[in-house]
């Protein structure tokens, strides 16, 4: 029976025009999305505009040393107020000394952006610091020789031996995987909810329930939509693969690894490290792929199953889609929390306490565990989390089915949380 229902849910969706269009457009949208991220990361979005800045230095502290940069071009002036052509004017009072460089004022018509402001402050600070060092007896050549450029090669000792690692690569891979799961749960969980609401408002549900058990109807729908999602994901992967190889062929073969790594990881890091691309790629290739893909698939599927059962409950509790809001928020809260935590706390400290617990709780583990995975999570933790996930899924589905079976037959009243609780205990 579930098979029949799954089949109908699957076919009715896959045949839709919107599905076909999204499946074909998806890779382009993803490519555009990543393009936009990379563009922002390399500074395309906040492109530097050159500002002409007048400097009225009465203190004489900045006589020689304000160098023109990509952002700022400095001209000396004696005017009290800025003339028309300049963006703004720096007034440095007589009272400012090397030890107490205070009272500096910047006058302008338009305010500086945050980055511009800190760049300007940095430049001023650097000048003062340099002069102080010179005053302390250092020569300019010494100053130049102190500059250091250090790069760290990370290696991880794990159950599989010592290997190269790069926390930026790890974070990037984990983050992209978590993002996919997050999007998938949302997109297709909401589809489950819509499907339930549709059956309920169409009044088809009672006809169905007299032929199949509510649980079968719910699971059939959830599984059918899961297959739709997997179909779409698979199609996207294949299409993206084709696109990447086509692009690589155009750009030239040697560029291929870089393209891949940009798509697969944190772009700014890749860009800054420039020449270290080889090392980044190496770290990427050294990730335990089988374990990663296995865990990703597991959390991808079970995360969706768990949440879509909850979405099905929401659908069963309301009469119209517009009423779903009050229930949506609490249900999606752990998901959003997990995602936000993954971006900050978990990436910063992937083996910390918060990361550990969030990767054990079934409501957040599909996101958090996947982010932690590239940082080498021990098998024992992974297995424990998976077992908890399976139990979480069974418990949630059981609870969901109990509320669902009552909810789908309730019309005309807006259910409250209290009512859902009551439905849970109804007999039969």
Q: 113-143 burial by CB neighbour count: b if 16+ within 10 A, else e?
A: eeebeebbeebbeebbeeeeeeeeeeeeeee
207 lines the binding site for another protein (CB under 8 A): yes
203 lines the binding site for another protein (CB under 8 A): yes
416 lines the binding site for another protein (CB under 8 A): no
Output 141 or 202, the one with its CB closest to another protein. Answer: 202
Output 383 or 409, the one with its CB closest to another protein. Answer: 409
Interface with another protein (CB under 8 A), residue total: 23
Output 363 or 415, the one with its CB closest to another protein. Answer: 415
Output 2 or 185, the one with its CB closest to another protein. Answer: 2
Output 205 or 368, the one with its CB closest to another protein. Answer: 205
Output 129 or 206, the one with its CB closest to another protein. Answer: 206
Which one among 212, 260, 271, 361 touches another protein, defined by CB under 8 A? 212
Output 147 or 427, the one with its CB closest to another protein. Answer: 427
The minimum distance between CB 404 and another protein, in angstroms, equals: 13
The minimum distance between CB 418 and another protein, in angstroms, equals: 11
Output 13 or 51, the one with its CB closest to another protein. Answer: 13
Residue 297 CA to its chain's centroid (Å): 18
The minimum distance between CB 327 and another protein, in angstroms, equals: 20
Please, are residues 78 and 56 in contact by the beta-carbon 8 Å criterion? Answer: yes
1 lines the binding site for another protein (CB under 8 A): yes
Output 293 or 410, the one with its CB closest to another protein. Answer: 410
The minimum distance between CB 310 and another protein, in angstroms, equals: 23
Output 394 or 409, the one with its CB closest to another protein. Answer: 409
Which one among 202, 250, 254, 380 touches another protein, defined by CB under 8 A? 202
In this structure, the strands spanning 51-57 and 88-92 are parallel
208 lines the binding site for another protein (CB under 8 A): yes
In the shown chain, the binding pattern of residues 391 to 410 toward another protein, with x for contact by CB under 8 A and - for none, equals ------------------x-
Enumerate residues 6+ apart whose C-beta is below 8 A from 310: 189, 331, 396, 400
Q: For residue 112, what is the DSSP state?
A: P
422 lines the binding site for another protein (CB under 8 A): yes
Residue 252 CA to its chain's centroid (Å): 30
User: Read out DSSP for 237-269?
Assistant: HHHHHHHHHHHHHHH-GGGHHHHHHHHHS-HHH
In this structure, the strands spanning 72-76 and 161-165 are unpaired
| Residue 78 falls in which region: left (phi positive, over 0), alpha (psi -120 to 50) or beta | alpha
Cβ neighbours, 10 Å, residue 105: 10
209 lines the binding site for another protein (CB under 8 A): yes
411 lines the binding site for another protein (CB under 8 A): yes
384 lines the binding site for another protein (CB under 8 A): no
Q: d(Cα 117, Cα 245) in Å, to the nearest integer?
A: 43
**Tokens read off for 247:** 């692009």
Which one among 18, 100, 141, 210 touches another protein, defined by CB under 8 A? 210
Which one among 29, 32, 204, 242 touches another protein, defined by CB under 8 A? 204
12 lines the binding site for another protein (CB under 8 A): yes
Enumerate residues 6+ apart whose C-beta is below 8 A from 264: 172, 173, 176, 284
Distances in Å between the Cα of 128 and the Cα atoms of 54, 62, 76, 144 are 19, 8, 18, 16
206 lines the binding site for another protein (CB under 8 A): yes
414 lines the binding site for another protein (CB under 8 A): no
Enumerate residues 6+ apart whose C-beta is below 8 A from 237: none
Q: d(Cα 306, Cα 366) in Å, to the nearest integer?
A: 10
Q: d(Cα 262, Cα 34) in Å, to the nearest integer?
A: 8
Q: For residue 408, what is the DSSP state?
A: T
Q: d(Cα 43, Cα 267) in Å, to the nearest integer?
A: 11
The minimum distance between CB 422 and another protein, in angstroms, equals: 7
Choices 23-31, 207-215, 224-232, 299-307; region in contact with another protein by CB under 8 A:
207-215
Q: d(Cα 159, Cα 175) in Å, to the nearest integer?
A: 23
Which one among 205, 239, 306, 382 touches another protein, defined by CB under 8 A? 205
| Site for another protein, rule CB under 8 A | 1, 4-5, 8, 12, 199, 202-213, 409, 411, 422, 427-428
């Amino acid at each position: 029976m579930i098979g029949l229902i799954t089949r109908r849910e699957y076919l009715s969706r896959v045949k839709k025009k919107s599905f076909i269009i999204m499946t074909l457009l998806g890779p382009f949208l993803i490519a555009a999305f990543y393009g936009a991220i990379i563009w922002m990361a390399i500074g395309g979005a906040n492109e530097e505009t050159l500002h002409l800045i007048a400097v009225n230095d009465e203190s004489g502290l900045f006589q020689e040393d304000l160098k023109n940069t990509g952002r700022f071009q400095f001209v000396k002036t004696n005017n009290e107020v800025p003339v028309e052509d300049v963006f703004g004017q720096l007034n440095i009072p007589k009272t400012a000394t090397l030890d107490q460089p205070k009272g500096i004022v910047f006058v302008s018509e338009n305010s500086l952006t945050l980055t511009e402001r800190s760049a300007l402050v940095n430049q001023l600070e650097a000048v003062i610091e340099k002069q102080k060092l010179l005053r302390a007896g250092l020569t300019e050549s010494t100053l130049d020789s102190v500059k250091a450029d250090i790069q760290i090669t990370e290696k991880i000792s794990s159950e599989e031996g010592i290997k190269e690692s790069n926390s930026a690569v790890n974070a990037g891979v984990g983050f992209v995987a978590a993002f996919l799961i997050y999007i998938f749960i949302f997109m297709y969980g909401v589809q489950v909810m819509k499907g339930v609401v549709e059956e309920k408002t169409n009044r088809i549900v009672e006809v169905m329930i007299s032929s199949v058990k509510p649980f079968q109807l719910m699971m059939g729908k959830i599984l059918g939509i899961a297959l739709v999602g997997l179909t779409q994901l698979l199609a996207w992967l294949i299409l993206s693969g084709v696109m990447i190889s086509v692009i690589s062929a155009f750009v030239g073969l040697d560029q291929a690894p870089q393209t891949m790594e940009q798509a697969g990881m944190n772009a700014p890091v890749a860009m800054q490290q420039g020449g270290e691309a080889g090392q980044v790629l190496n770290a990427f290739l050294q990730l335990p792929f089988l374990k990663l893909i296995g865990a990703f698939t597991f959390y991808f599927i079970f995360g969706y199953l768990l949440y879509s059962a909850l979405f099905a409950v929401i659908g069963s509790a309301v009469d119209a889609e517009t009423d779903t809001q009050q229930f949506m928020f609490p249900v999606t809260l752990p998901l959003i929390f997990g995602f936000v935590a993954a971006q900050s706390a978990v990436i910063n400290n992937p083996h910390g306490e918060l990361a550990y617990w969030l990767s054990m709780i079934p409501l957040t583990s599909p996101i958090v565990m996947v982010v932690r995975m590239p940082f080498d999570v021990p098998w024992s933790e992974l297995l424990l989390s998976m077992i908890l996930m399976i139990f979480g899924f069974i418990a949630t589905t059981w609870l969901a089915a109990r509320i669902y079976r009552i909810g789908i037959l309730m019309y005309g009243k807006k259910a409250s949380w209290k009512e859902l609780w009551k439905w849970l205990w109804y007999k039969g």
